Structure 1
Amino acid sequence: MSTVPGTPTVTVRFWAAAREAAGTETERHAGRTLGGVLDAAVDAHPALATVVKASTFLIDGRSADRSALLEDGSTVEVLPPFAGG
């Protein structure tokens, strides 16, 4: 992960199918927006592309969309649709 000085670095947590596609539970990525971090994760794990399209996202426990700005040290959660009840 190369970063531009001043670019936030966040922890990305993958849940369920996202974890399976990424092959890991968590990893760190740098980016100014949620979309940028998601793009970096998909670049690192191409199998995530389909999962990310169907997922919802949290930043520090709050719902967010791809345009959301990130702060250094935040936690992003990738939540694919869950089945069951």
Structure 2
Amino acid sequence: MPREHEAASVTVRYWAGARAAAGVDSDVVTGCRTVADAVASVATLHPGLAAVTAVSTLLLDGRATHRDHDLPDGSVLEVLPPFAGG
């Protein structure tokens, strides 16, 4: 089990407009300590994704999270952009 603040490997899943901006369903990023680190890593991989993540809801292992939240190794971060519909 990782110690607090240890760098993690995280799966980042994209939904709707985030998937379109990334061009893939998901990525695995490593060396991340916080949600912000993971978001920055995927924005480097997919430059068009930065604008989408800026307005997206982020879920960490199925629960809403903030960018300063620590990432456990093996966790799943989901990027859910705002969407319209009913």
Q: Does 1:13 align with 2:45?
A: no
Quote the Cα distance in structure 2 between the aligned partners of 1:49 and 1:33: 16
The runs of 5 or more residues in structure 1 that have no matched partner are 1-5
Equivalent residue, structure 1, for 2:60 = 59
Displacement, 1:7? 1.6
Deviations 1:25-69 (A, max 9, x none): 011012000000000000110000110111010000111010010
Q: Which residue of 1 aligns with 2:24?
A: 24
Provide the residue aligned with 1:3 in structure 2: none
Q: Which runs of 5+ in 2 are unaligned?
A: 1-5
Cα distance in 1, alignment partners of residues 58 and 50 from structure 2: 14
Identity %: 47
Stretches of 4+ moved more than 6 A in 1? none
**How far apart, in 2, do the equivalents of 1:59 and 1:24 lie?**
19
Report how many aligned residue pairs link the two structures.
80
Aligned CA RMSD, in angstroms, stands at: 0.8
Secondary structure, aligned partner of 1:42: helix
Are 1:80 and 2:81 an aligned pair? Answer: yes
- The TM-score, its normalising length taken from structure 1, stands at 0.91
Instruction: Find the counterpart in structure 2 of residue 70 from structure 1.
Output: 71
Distance in structure 1 (CA, Å) of the matches to 2:22 and 2:56: 14
